[in-house]
Amino acid sequence: MKKLFQAIAALLADGESLVVATIFDKSGSAPRTAGAKMAIRQGGAIIGTIGGGRLEADAVRLAGEAFRSRRSVLQAFDLSGRDVAGMDMICGGQGEVLLDFIDAADADNRAIYAGICEVLGRREKAWLITALGDGRGSFRPARRQCLVRQDGSLVGRFASDPGFLAKLTGGPAKIAIHAEVLEGQRFLVEPIRPAGVAYVFGAGHVSQKIVPLAETVGFRTVVLDDRAEYASRERFPAPAEIVVLEAFDRLPAMEIDGDSYLVIVTRGHLHDKTILEWALRTDAGYIGMIGSRRKRNKVYAALAEQGFSERDFQRVYSPIGTDILAETPEELAVSIVGELIKVRAERENARHG
């Protein structure tokens, strides 16, 4: 998402207006693609994705109308069963998509997206708040949007008292995109935060449960396996990224840093050892490996013979996950993602005191 915001900010700085499409839930449980976002340029070229399929095609079409009217559009959707499967929607595939016309001539718009990039670059938090219209397909004539920084300062036009904004940015909006009704008005509140990327090595049954759960709590997910029949879109719908490997010992180039969370859940000890050996040479903020203590110790002993130290092994969360006596793939996923959330929160608290 950081790269998408950077691309939007660069286009606006160059004087190019665009439409930004964002998916969110109408009420109740959200589709897993809630928060998916893409930029649409004049002529229909896109940057990013909201999951493909009919919804994305409709968004591009509606963006043309937004360009012509120079107004943002709020569109409800209710996908068919086939489209729901492709988009991994729940609740009957119902939700809304905001097609926000961003005028590059407006200094506030340029400042807001430049501010988002600055927040992400500093690994801070902020909230992008947009006042929605009446829900019948159109926006208010006077478009209102602002970026609320963690210190309470504002970028953009949004006349309101701090208490009102605090209500909007509290509760569910702290970590997930959220449509809020407050004092008779509707608002779309999008948290801007360094959520992290979860790289899941292995595409088995446990991974199938980990990935959607990690997405719902703000992680971007990448699934990697050397079996195309497992690392497939049928098993891992968008927005998860899928990488089919030549082999586990021939990984592609990846940008691994402190916001990278490496989850090792391959189909065997040998592959786990291969990935762990690679992982310990990275700057990943989290490394977790599935398996019993006996299996873990055998892997550690083999790696110690290759020169790895006890200090290296102290970086590894193994057995992976918080101890909730998990047994089923679903329970293991809750345990693992719970640990990811805990490590992420601890890192954020350490960064900001």
Question: Domains plus CATH for the chain?
Answer: 2-192 (no CATH), 197-352 (3.40.50.720)
Confidence at 321, pLDDT banded by 50, 70, 90: very high
Token reading at 75: 């569109």
Tokens 């947009």, residue?
130
| Nearest by Cα to 255 from 212, 215, 199 | 199
pLDDT value of residue 261: 97
pLDDT value of residue 319: 93
pLDDT tens digit string along 212-252?
999 888 788 999 999 999 999 889 986 788 999 999 999 99
Confidence at 133, pLDDT banded by 50, 70, 90: low
pLDDT value of residue 341: 93
User: Does residue 326 carry a pLDDT above 90?
Assistant: no
pLDDT value of residue 79: 59
Opening angle at CA 70, ends 69 and 72, nearest 5: 95
- The strands making up 286-289's β-sheet, listed across from edge to edge, are 241-244, 220-225, 197-201, 260-264, 286-289, 316-317
User: Does residue 201 carry a pLDDT above 90?
Assistant: yes
pLDDT value of residue 348: 75
Q: Is pLDDT larger for residue 151 or for residue 344?
A: 344
Confidence at 135, pLDDT banded by 50, 70, 90: very low
For residue 346, count other CB atoms closer than 10 A to its CB.
11
Q: Is pLDDT larger for residue 320 or for residue 25?
A: 320
pLDDT value of residue 171: 60
The whole-model pTM stands at: 0.69
Mean pLDDT value across the chain: 85
Beta-carbon contacts of 161 under 8 Å, excluding residues fewer than 6 positions away, are: none
